[in-house]
Amino acid sequence: METKEMKVMGVKVYCKGDLGLLDEGKVRLAIVGSRKMTDYGRRVIEKQVPVLVQAGVVIVSGFMYGVDQAAHEVCLDCGGETIAVLGWGIDRGLSIEDEKLYEKFIKGKSLMMSEYYGEAMAEQWMFVQRNRIVVGLSAAVLVVEAAVKSGTMTSVRWAKKMNKPVLCVPGLITSKVSEGANGLIKSGEAKMVTGVEDILEVLGLKPGQMKLGGVPHQSVQDDGDLTKVRPLLRWLENEGMEVDRLAKLMKRSASQVMVELTRLEILGQVEQRGGKFYIV
């Protein structure tokens, strides 16, 4: 990809990709969070990003593993537009783990940018500076899982400086990577997000004013019907479980539960991650 030099908000940056994503008319949202994302964080992203993409929101993040990459990936997977602001030189080679995502960037509607030229090495302070651009580009900042002392908190500080709204997804109070996010909600610095509607509202995109199509809203009734036919789903409504736990709760043999889980997997109703099964 060709590297272009340009000025964004008075800062010189190097860009690769679709510069159209920087258009004034686009609504951009920064999604930031921990590198130690948990399954919960991933689920939050998987649930909300597709809806945001449908509403035409451009997802901005920092291409770091964890929440950043999950946000980019989910966004690109459902055909959305995304901007990655790098904390290192624009031409720096990527590690093998990042290659796959980079390929998706090339194929999808995306833009990569960095303040740093060539193959500059990443330094701690660069990430903090990078966050300033992530926030600057976006209309609002969504925090998904953040520890008290973390890079995510610097993004929040930048947002306050620039007077941008901060949104927070609450996490489990027992989880360390949720302490920062929950703290922001508690202190009133951030607006609590419990559903994608909250984000759309802050971005000025009420559910009624969809740019593209409508939000696939899961009605309670649908779920009710499905759990009648597939009782296993009821057990997974609140949390992911292993086969053994399901077998015990349902009073079935492990092999019977596995058979049912495969059927549900094939129907796309559940998925398996790290030995646990979750409702998609």
Partner 1 sequence: MLVRVRSVAHVGLTTIPVEVEVDVASKGFPGFNIVGLANKAVDEAKERVKTAIVNSGMAFPDKRITVNLAPADIPKEGSAYDLPMAVGILVASKEVEWSDEDARAVYYGELGLDGKLRHTKGGLLVGLWVKKSGSTSEQIARKQSVSDEKPCVFVPVESANGVAVVSGIEVKPVRDLVQLVEHFKGDKKIKSLNNIKSTDLIEAAAVDFDMAEVIGQEQAKRALEIAAAGGHNVLMVGPPGSGKTMLAKALPGILPFLSEEESMEVSRIYSVMGLLGPGEALVRRRSFRSPHHSTSMAGLIGGGSNPRPGEVSMAHLGVLFLDEMAEFPRTVMEALRQPMEDGWVVISRAMGRMKYPADFMLVGSVNPCPCGYLGHPKHECNCSFRQVARYKQRISGPILDRIDLHVSVPAVEIDKLTVSSNESAQKSSQIRDKVMGTRERQTKRFSGDGIYTNAQMKNKQVKKYCQLGGDAERMMRIAAEKFAVSARGYFRLLKVSRTIADLDESEDIAERHVAEALQYRIKVF
> With contact defined as beta carbons under 8 Å apart, do 29 and 203 qualify?
yes
Centroid of chain to Cα 8: 24
Cα separation values, 131 from 33, 64, 109, 124, Å: 11, 11, 21, 12
Can residue 65 be called a binding residue for partner 1 (CB under 8 A)? yes
Can residue 242 be called a binding residue for partner 1 (CB under 8 A)? yes
Segment contacting partner 1 by CB under 8 A, of 13-21, 24-32, 122-130, 247-255: 247-255
CB of 276 to partner 1, least distance (A): 7
**Burial class of residue 93 in the structure, from the number of CB atoms within 10 Å of its CB (0-12 exposed, 13-18 middle, 19+ buried):** exposed
Can residue 93 be called a binding residue for partner 1 (CB under 8 A)? no
Can residue 274 be called a binding residue for partner 1 (CB under 8 A)? yes
Can residue 39 be called a binding residue for partner 1 (CB under 8 A)? yes
Q: For residues 152 and 135, what is the distance between their CA atoms, to the nearest angstrom? A: 11
Q: Which helix (H) or strand (E) holds 223?
A: helix 220-229
Can residue 263 be called a binding residue for partner 1 (CB under 8 A)? yes
Exactly one of 47, 189, 276, 278 binds partner 1 (CB under 8 A); that residue is 276
**Burial class of residue 13 in the structure, from the number of CB atoms within 10 Å of its CB (0-12 exposed, 13-18 middle, 19+ buried):** buried
CB of 164 to partner 1, least distance (A): 28
Segment contacting partner 1 by CB under 8 A, of 72-80, 114-122, 158-166, 248-256: 248-256
- Own/partner pairs for 124-133, CB < 8 Å, 24+ apart? 126/87, 126/88, 127/62, 127/64, 127/87, 127/151, 127/154, 128/154, 129/87, 130/62, 130/85, 130/86, 130/87, 131/32, 131/62, 131/155, 131/158, 132/158, 133/8, 133/9, 133/11, 133/13, 133/85
Nearer to partner 1, 25 or 274 (CB): 274
CB of 112 to partner 1, least distance (A): 20
> With contact defined as beta carbons under 8 Å apart, do 182 and 71 qualify?
no
Q: For residues 173 and 194, what is the distance between their CA atoms, to the nearest angstrom? A: 15
Can residue 278 be called a binding residue for partner 1 (CB under 8 A)? no
Segment contacting partner 1 by CB under 8 A, of 53-61, 115-123, 133-141, 246-254: 246-254
What is the secondary structure of 103-122 as a DSSP string?
HHHHHSEEEEEESS-TTPPP
Can residue 233 be called a binding residue for partner 1 (CB under 8 A)? no
Can residue 97 be called a binding residue for partner 1 (CB under 8 A)? yes
Nearer to partner 1, 13 or 232 (CB): 232
Segment contacting partner 1 by CB under 8 A, of 128-136, 194-202, 226-234, 253-261: 253-261
CB of 266 to partner 1, least distance (A): 5
Segment contacting partner 1 by CB under 8 A, of 136-144, 146-154, 162-170, 264-272: 264-272
Can residue 247 be called a binding residue for partner 1 (CB under 8 A)? yes
Where on the chain is the footprint of partner 1 (CB under 8 A)?
A: 35, 39, 65-66, 95, 97, 176, 242-245, 247-248, 253-255, 258-263, 265-266, 272, 274-276
